[in-house]
Chains A and B, each alone.
Chain A
């Protein structure tokens, strides 16, 4: 499943990120430096797991810093699942 960082940006609010913070996020920049806090980040990860049917363990999640990183992870997980 191909998804872009920009598309994932639309899910931030759904995960509970404040609208003004979500709107300002640069998909290429580290999320935790753009206003996401320590509750928003795991909530966003959990939402991605549900939405894209991927398994995202905590160690891996903490290495994914930007929306583009998450998009690449979801893309590679889809390729693995399809292989």
Chain B
């Protein structure tokens, strides 16, 4: 079944769920697939950028293969009233999965459905899934609900993706400005390796590094460590048009990195994007060189992402570096932990530094104070542009 056929079937069978039923969280079963599709259609309409949730065969196969681990909240009559996913997304490391896509049917927002899903995931899946070494999440910062879910389940804040999501993605939530997301990572199976700490963001990386018990061989990532002339830059670029974000994964830093990265920044500007992100391989001796190139291009520190590359590229870890492409308004940035607040302060300070030192565009945080919505009133739309 293709996407169009699946959507037509979902439209034809669309219905409201009977409210007030007892809800139980459980792992996905093949018979849940149409219910998951119904949920995505209700919340995202027909625009969700991935086919899997809409097409039952694809979702069943993805769960069978382990590419996606769906958790559902099932009502007593078998209806799917909520779901979450643990799934492969942006990281080049296929053994690092995203935790997100927490959706709850509109008839069950005033229940504990989302909590039950999260409890099931944290007790039955986190740290237990075969082929999964690490999990990450992107928690929106205009409210605290998603961030609070990282409490007590060993997700540690490690970056701030400034202005990652457009205001339009949260219509009806009173958001003014682009929404920033805290990156947080849980590591279950470490992969030891080299970590060339870039000179220009050494303080930031060293501040975040102790969050997990990682085994790393720390080495100086000197800005002057230019890659050999014959080494090519290996960069995979993802464009998220609806989010206005360009994301570049640099698996290898080559001698022409400055030209290549400048080209990507120009292309992102030409596309009208607001944000460009670079994930640099901290296992590369030339990571410091690349970081300095980007710093001089007006980029600022975004985060340290353990295991982001894993065995792919010169990993295992990534340095997130970002640049705004125009001055933007940012929605209020709330944090629920001291570690999160420290990272926000660190990243925003470096953004201001980039503005002052290189006249790079900066974001202005909205004075609006969006409310801390109750858990049950949030539909849990996935934060990441790749979700």
B23 is an interface residue with CB less than 8 A from chain A: yes
Which residues in B have their C-beta under 8 angstroms from that of A62? 110
Given A38-B374, A38-B376, A39-B375, the answer on whether A58 and B112 have CB atoms closer than 8 Å is: yes
CB within 8 Å of A: which B14-54 residues: 20, 22-23
The count of residues in chain B whose C-beta lies closer than 8 Å to any C-beta of chain A is: 21
Known: A16-B151, A45-B112. A39 touches B23 (CB 8 A): no
Q: Given that A38-B375, A58-B111 are contacting pairs, would A46 and B152 also be in contact in the complex, using a CB cutoff of 8 Å?
A: no
The interface residues of chain B lying within 8 Å CB-to-CB of A37 are 144, 148, 372, 375
Across-interface contacts of B145 in A (CB, < 8 A)? 38-39
Q: Which residues of B contact A (CB under 8 A)?
A: 20, 22-23, 110-113, 115-116, 119, 144-145, 148-149, 151-152, 372-376
How many A-B pairs have beta carbons closer than 8 Å: the answer is 40
Assess the A16–B152 pair: CB atoms within 8 A.
yes
Contact A42 B20 (CB under 8 A): no
Instruction: Report yes or no: A39 in contact with B151, Cβ–Cβ below 8 A.
Output: yes
**What CA separation (Å) do A45 and B113 show in the bound complex?**
13
Which chain B residue has the least Cβ–Cβ distance from A39?
Answer: B148
Does A31 count as interface, using CB distance less than 8 angstroms? no
For the complex, would chain B's binding face be called helix, strand, loop or mixed by DSSP majority? Answer: loop
A42 contacts B112, C-beta separation under 8 Å: yes
| Chain B residue at smallest Cβ distance from A46 | B119
Q: List 15 A-B contacts (CB under 8 A).
A: A16-B151, A37-B375, A38-B145, A38-B373, A38-B375, A38-B376, A39-B145, A39-B151, A39-B375, A41-B375, A42-B116, A42-B375, A45-B112, A57-B22, A61-B112
Residue picked from A41, A42, A57, most chain B C-beta under 10 Å: A42
Q: A46-B119, A57-B22, A58-B23 are in contact. Are A39 and B112 (CB under 8 A)?
A: no
**In the complex, A78 has a CB within 8 A of chain B:** no
Residue of B nearest to A41 (CB): B375
Mask of A36-51 contacts with B, CB within 8 angstroms, 1/0: 0111011101100000
Is A2 positioned at the interface, with any CB of B under 8 Å from its CB? no
Give the shortest distance, in Å, between B26 (CB) and chain A (any CB).
15
A46 touches B148 (CB 8 A): no
B151:A42 contact, CB within 8 angstroms: no
Q: Residue A19 at the B interface, CB < 8 A?
A: no
* Chain A residues with CB under 8 A of B111: 58-59
Q: How far is the CA of A42 from the CA of B112 in the complex (A)?
A: 6
- A37-B148, A42-B375 provided; 20 other pairs, C-beta below 8 A? A16-B151, A16-B152, A37-B375, A38-B145, A38-B148, A38-B373, A38-B374, A39-B145, A39-B148, A41-B375, A42-B112, A42-B116, A43-B119, A45-B112, A46-B116, A57-B22, A58-B111, A58-B112, A58-B113, A59-B111
B residues near A46, Cβ cutoff 8 Å: 112, 115-116, 119
Q: Please name the residue on chain A nearest to B147 by beta carbon.
A: A39
**In the complex with contacts A58-B111, A61-B112, A39-B149 CB distance below 8 A:** yes
Which residues of A from 27 to 83 have beta carbons under 8 Å from B? 37-39, 41-43, 45-46, 57-59, 61-62
Minimum Cβ distance to chain B for residue A15 (Å): 10
> How far does the Cβ of B271 sit from chain A's closest Cβ, in whole Å?
38
- Verify A42–B22 contact, CB threshold 8 A: no
In the complex, what residues of A have CB within 8 A of residue B22's CB? Answer: 57
Query: Given known contacts A16-B152, A39-B145, is B376 in contact with A59 (CB within 8 Å)?
Result: no
| Alpha-carbon distance between A5 and B111 when the two chains are bound, in angstroms | 23
Return chain A residues, CB-CB under 8 Å to B151: 16, 39
Give the residue name and chain of the B residue nearest to A38 (CB). B375
